[in-house]
Amino acid sequence: MTSSLVPAKRAAGGLVDLDDAEDQIIKPEKAKEQISSEKWPLLLKNYNELLVRTSHFTPIPMGCPPLSRPLKDYVKYGVINLDKPANPSSHEVVAWIKKILRCEKTGHSGTLDPKVTGCLIVCIDRATRLVKSQQGAGKEYVGVVRFHGKLEGGAVAFRRALDSLQGALFQRPPVVSAVKRVLRVRTIHEVEMVEYDDARNLGVFWVSCEAGTYIRTLCVHLGLLLGIGGHMQELRRVRSGAMTEGNGTGLVSLHDVLDAQWTYDNTLNETYIRRVIQPLETLLTSYKRIVVKDSTVNAICYGAKLMIPGLLRYSANIEAHEEIVLMTTKGEAIALGIALMNSVEMGSCDHGVVAKVKRCIMERDTYPRRWGLGPIATNKKKLKAEGKLDKFGRANENTPAEWKAGYKDFSESSNGAGHSPALAAAAIKDTTDPLQAPPIPPSGPEFGVTSKGDSSTGSPVGKAAAASNDDDSDGPARKRRKHEGETPEERAERKLKKKEKKEAKEKKKAVKAEKKRVKKEARHEE
């Protein structure tokens, strides 16, 4: 560590005062500067505040921070905080953006009526997977209500009526709505009066509500409460989920989108279009986060659950069954998930499932595959290549005895075969201690259960017990499969017949459709 020396005061005669010079020396300190991640972007904000499970992992040079993605991927994983104009519908606006940006898919976070303006989140391509989560997010509006007469009490009565409309309310969709007009319950979180014009009978209010609330119906209820009637004059959405119309949130107009695309097409300048489009991680900043290892990313993209060995960091106060976002160490969103552990269990358990995937966001194979590389999986691939296992990894006549003895196929125990009546009967027969046998369910008229014949043999357990008492039986009868024991030639012949039958059926269907078409054309000519 370097130190600097400030020029000391010179005494009379041009000599330096040594006592003052020592006071001006900056001495080195052992204290280290704390790294602050408060200003880090998007999901990496306050990264150092996340709880640490482990810090040891092997970085993979794949992926990219959201703000540094190539422009093609930046648009593909982008969202637009659009200031919707009045008159066109939300679907028209989204279709125009799809045509301007020449992308495959677009979606929006909640329909706005044609006359309503304000925040409309437009998701592009892969970001459309977040549409459902954003449609259910909270909304905020600024509305203008026009009363049908003079309001006694003025602004005071208006404010009192607004305060009475907080909490859960019954609402029926307006007549102009395109949905079924059934009674619904919607929650008004907060409502405030902004202004009241007594001369024109106009009131301006701000409301924070859940998704699906009809502000038009709210204005009608205001008029009914005040006894003079009223209707909605104007409405603007000022917040939709994580997006607001405030400064710094990137609210843009359709003109900005068109100009940004034109600028890039003609000048190859990406600055404008990167300002108009934001990464989809902007919508997920309010979620609790779980950071996973790079070797785990692609498995999650293929639908695997997150296990304890793949966990790096996690937010505090995560509750079980809470919706969270899975992210990489570079700040990329992998998927929306459901936590299966709370924060305490994540830090204390050495095995188990941390979270399951609810909606995958990242495209598959963005990161390389890192499963099937262990010693058992490698040996299994080798045996399959040598013909000692079939193509599904199951044992055949060439399988070594060591493999059969040491390998446990967990997929067989998960398909329900371990709970068959035959295996239950075998368990009863092999049991020497009668106290370890499973209980026989009650039967008979006194228990409300009737069976044909002896009640001891009416249930599978009773039948198994009866079979165990038979000295001539070698064991429980196993159910024979439909095509068990057939040779490869018989199987090939059966497949061929099935294929011919299917082709004949399709041909018959095509002939029938052609006859129907000809008959329809003849009727049309008549």
pTM over 0.75: no
Distances, alpha carbon 468 to alpha carbons 462, 463, 473, in Å: 10, 9, 8
The confidence score (pLDDT) of residue 67 equals 92
Torsion angles phi and psi, residue 43, rounded to 5 = -75, -15
What pLDDT digit, counting tens, does each position of 360-407 carry? 999 999 999 988 888 888 899 999 999 999 888 888 888 999 888 888
Local structure of 67: helix, strand or coil: helix
Closest CA to 292 of 61, 54, 65: 54
Domains and CATH numbers, the chain: 39-65+287-371 (2.30.130.10), 71-134+246-281 (3.30.2350.10), 138-240 (3.30.2350.10), 375-406 (no CATH)
Place of tokens 């609330």: 213
The verdict on whether 113 is a catalytic residue reads: yes
Percent of the chain with pLDDT over 90: 43
Q: Which two tokens stand for residue 178?
A: 């395109």
User: Cβ(81)–Cβ(134) under 8 Å?
Assistant: no
Sheet containing strand 353-360, edge to edge, reads 51-52, 311-314, 288-292, 323-327, 333-339, 353-360, 306-307
Q: Reply yes or no on whether the pLDDT at 467 is more than 50.
A: no
DSSP 476: P
Q: Which two tokens stand for residue 236?
A: 């603007």
Q: Reply yes or no on whether the pLDDT at 3 is more than 50.
A: no
Place of tokens 């640490």: 52
What pLDDT digit, counting tens, does each position of 166-207 carry? 888 888 887 777 677 788 888 999 999 999 998 898 999 999
- C-alpha 401/C-alpha 404 separation (Å) is 5
Question: For residue 171, what is the enclosing H or E element?
Answer: strand 167-171
Alpha helices (H) along 418-487? 421-430, 460-469
Q: pLDDT category, 284, cuts 50, 70, 90?
A: very high
Q: pLDDT category, 415, cuts 50, 70, 90?
A: very low
Q: Reply yes or no on whether the pLDDT at 41 is more than 80.
A: yes
Picking from 76-85, 175-184, 333-342, which range would have the lowest pLDDT averaged per residue? Answer: 175-184
- C-alpha 192/C-alpha 238 separation (Å) is 14
Mean pLDDT score of the chain, rounded to an integer? 82
Q: Reply yes or no on whether the pLDDT at 260 is more than 90.
A: yes
Q: Which two tokens stand for residue 206?
A: 């701000």
What pLDDT digit, counting tens, does each position of 93-122 carry? 999 999 999 999 999 988 888 999 999 999
Closest CA to 191 of 245, 139, 113: 139
Give mean pLDDT, residues 214-221.
90
- C-alpha 90/C-alpha 112 separation (Å) is 6
Q: pLDDT category, 211, cuts 50, 70, 90?
A: confident
Q: Reply yes or no on whether the pLDDT at 311 is more than 60.
A: yes
Q: What share of the chain is helix, strand, coil (3-state, %, to 5)?
A: 40, 20, 40
The confidence score (pLDDT) of residue 430 equals 47
Q: Reply yes or no on whether the pLDDT at 411 is more than 70.
A: no
Q: Which two tokens stand for residue 233?
A: 């004059």
Q: Which two tokens stand for residue 185?
A: 């319950």
- C-alpha 333/C-alpha 281 separation (Å) is 6
Q: Following DSSP, what letter does each residue of 34-57 receive, concatenated?
A: PPP-TTS-GGGTTGGGSEES----
Q: Which of 83, 113, 256, 294 is catalytic?
A: 113
Q: pLDDT category, 434, cuts 50, 70, 90?
A: low
Give mean pLDDT, residues 247-259.
86
DSSP 144: E
Local structure of 283: helix, strand or coil: helix
- C-alpha 208/C-alpha 225 separation (Å) is 20
The confidence score (pLDDT) of residue 290 equals 95
Closest CA to 217 of 145, 152, 158, 163: 145
C-beta atoms surrounding 3 within 10 Å: 9
Torsion angles phi and psi, residue 116, rounded to 5 = -85, 140
Q: Which two tokens stand for residue 425?
A: 């009967």
Strand partners, 244: 239
